[in-house]
Structure 1
Amino acid sequence: MKILTAGDHFVTNGLLADALHDRLGAPFDHAELTLPWPHTPFGPVGEVQEASDAEDALIAALPGVRVAVTQMAPFTERALDAADALELLVCCRGGPVNVNLAAAAARGIAVVATPGRNATAAAEHTVALLLAAKRAVPRTHAGLAAGQWRSDLYAYGECGTELGGSTVGLIGYGAIGRKVARVLHAFDARVLVHDPYTDPADAGPHVELTGLDELLAQSTAVSLHARLTPETAGLVDAARIAAMPPGAVLVNTARGGLLDYPAAAAALVSGHLGAAGFDVFDSEPLAADSPLRSAPNVVMTPHLAGATRETAHRAARLSAEAVADHLAGRTPQGLVPAAAR
């Protein structure tokens, strides 16, 4: 049996191979393809998104491969045409956006994702951005590094606010949102959640499910955790930012397409938003002329919320478990339903 691992410089071929050997036990024919991400940014390739531009190399590696495991390989229709023996494709990320799911389904190829692999990392990063934004950590650090001792920032009109006792709204309540909610509860925050796909009986005792308008009106901090779909694209627009309380904090570690960033930058400049923390953007890398670069009270990171070594190990382990389940005739966790393809 031939297995192709198309690793990169985060979820490496070494991690994938070690996990497969540990889980499968029996030897297998192993082929490798090393993708350039993250040293080279991902982007659209053909009809798929967030992929490494290595379509030709993938096509050359696919003949005879029964199982493929990857995070960033571009499984376009053209690539799948070359997959003459492929029966299982494991995409070791939360969603298989780099896979043409309809083309895979038409060829009878099972597709598996690994949702939750980076939930801990992304949740911790979300809370870090929220705290840094609320307490103006980037601004005060920059001042101190420049030789300023701003004790005047202790003034009532300048100092930050606490998570304890505040109301925080989470838009989206998947694996990451649930972990964020537990951390916020430990800070004694009130947590509101808007997610029309969450069963109230499964929400947990420490959150309150509510409508989006109610969440925005009541939350002094809002964090985005929804998937980007046609339904959620542009979900938090200028009008919804305006509906937030004056001085509120906005955080996005989910997907840039959920948020109107020019509107967010304008709200930061006007002071309607008190602060913001962003890890994802509507265009990546962040454009040189983005108004966010000069907006006040914003902390930004370059799409790194999921970037921990534990995430990489977890992605490899979950992928190997999916391969083992498939080969044993079991339904793998994370199997993408045919109806979604």
Structure 2
Amino acid sequence: MTLKVLAAGDHFVRNSLLIDALKSAVPGELDVRELTLPWPVEPFGRVGEVDEASDVEDELIEALRGVEVCVTQMAPLTKRVLDASPELRLFCVSRGGPVNANLEAASEAGVKVTFAPGRNAVATAEHTLAMLLAATRRIPQTHAELAAGVWRGDYYTYDRVGPELEGNTVGLVGYGAIGSRVARMLEGFGATVLVHDPYVDVPGNVGLPELLERSLFVSLHARATPETTGMIGKAEIAAMPAGSVLVNCARGALLDYDALCDALDSGHLFGAACDVFPDEPIPPGSRLLTTPNLVMTPHLAGASKETAMKAAAIVAADVARYVRGEPVAHLANPS
């Protein structure tokens, strides 16, 4: 029997990657139709009752007619889409969390939702180290001034130079797939690594107050949950040593960005680097655009060719399990 599949890729996890992975992994005949979503050329946002999705409900409903399996990254699985797609049984989201899927409505409709944990762990860990070094060594600022024809010798003065990783302590808030990789990389730099993560049992796992007090560098790697939202605010930043560096390549909700800007303006923090923000894109007039010693990238820490290929392979493997009648590996709605 032929399996009808919709590949709803975008300009990062391309349909060609999804289709090649499906053909390689899934037994039997496939009838694959395609829908190309506009992300990341057009930002994601809230669609209906789901977050971080491309606003393509109407196009998705039309493309899903008669389809049993959908593989995607940014398609919005809303109640409206589910109600219009009675044949749909498996919705595979090729990202670390299926925030673009209404899991409760999917469960009620009998649709399994899967996701792709760990797909961008290597890319995000590498980007975190790059951001940490860029903020500490003033790489973006000095490059911009050199490109403008300005040679700033005063960056070599004692008060303007930053600390080394070797021999200093780096605190990692979160020790999952990304945080643990960052820890291994930091050990190669000769840094001492502390961890704050109540869900793991590893050496150097301490309370958040102790981590902040002892760490000259702090990097955030926790998931955004009600418990972690706003976990790094004015008091927590003040508890960090003067002249320290803070990095957030996890989620914007973890950090109070006004407190971050205050600490950079005052000089309490030597520098900071962020890949994620409370509002994306950053709105015009935001303090983030003018605060000194802040390195920023537009939510692309997980962006690598390998991430896109891994994402496609992970969802294709779950489609193969579904076809063989096996339990899927990364089910988001077991209820």
- Report the counterpart of residue 292 of structure 1 in structure 2: 288
Conservation of the 8 A alpha-carbon contact between 2:69 and 2:91:
yes
- Report the counterpart of residue 208 of structure 1 in structure 2: 204
Conservation of the 8 A alpha-carbon contact between 1:90 and 1:113:
yes
Residue from 17, 20, 34 that aligns with 1:18: 20
Q: Write the letter of the residue equivalent to 2:196.
A: H
Give me the TM-score of the superposition, normalised by structure 2.
0.97
Give me the TM-score of the superposition, normalised by structure 1.
0.95
Post-superposition Cα deviations, 1:230-273, rounded to whole Å, max 9, x if no partner, equal 11111111111111111110101111111111110111000011
Q: Write the letter of the residue equivalent to 2:16.
A: G
Specify every segment of 5 or more residues in structure 1 that has no aligned partner in the other structure, as ranges: none
Count of equivalent residues: 333
Conservation of the 8 A alpha-carbon contact between 2:231 and 2:254:
yes
Residue from 287, 293, 313 that aligns with 2:309: 313
Give, in whole Å, the separation in 2 of the partners of 1:211 and 1:22.
Answer: 46
Conservation of the 8 A alpha-carbon contact between 2:27 and 2:323:
no
Give, in whole Å, the separation in 2 of the partners of 1:337 and 1:46.
Answer: 19
Write out aligned runs for 1:159-238 (5 A). 159-198=161-200, 200=201, 203=202, 207-238=203-234
Conservation of the 8 A alpha-carbon contact between 1:62 and 1:84:
no
- 2:204 is paired with a residue of what secondary structure? strand
Give, in whole Å, the separation in 2 of the partners of 1:197 and 1:57.
Answer: 41
- 2:325 is paired with a residue of what secondary structure? coil
The CA RMSD over aligned residues, in Å, is 1.1
- Report the counterpart of residue 325 of structure 2 in structure 1: 329
Post-superposition Cα deviations, 1:140-189, rounded to whole Å, max 9, x if no partner, equal 11222222222232221111211111111111111111111110111111
Write out aligned runs for 1:59-74 (5 A). 59-74=61-76
Conservation of the 8 A alpha-carbon contact between 1:10 and 1:312:
yes
Post-superposition Cα deviations, 1:104-157, rounded to whole Å, max 9, x if no partner, equal 111221111101000111000000000000111112112222222222322211
- Report the counterpart of residue 247 of structure 2 in structure 1: 251
Conservation of the 8 A alpha-carbon contact between 1:37 and 1:52:
yes
Which segments of structure 1 move beyond 4 Å, counting only runs of 4 or more?
none
Conservation of the 8 A alpha-carbon contact between 2:7 and 2:34:
yes
The share of aligned pairs that are identical, in percent, is 58
Post-superposition Cα deviations, 1:272-302, rounded to whole Å, max 9, x if no partner, equal 1110001010001011111111111111000
The answer on 1:266 being equivalent to 2:268 is no
User: Higher mean Cα deviation, 312-321 or 24-33?
Assistant: 24-33
1:60 to partner: Cα distance = 1.4
Give, in whole Å, the separation in 2 of the partners of 1:241 and 1:217.
Answer: 10
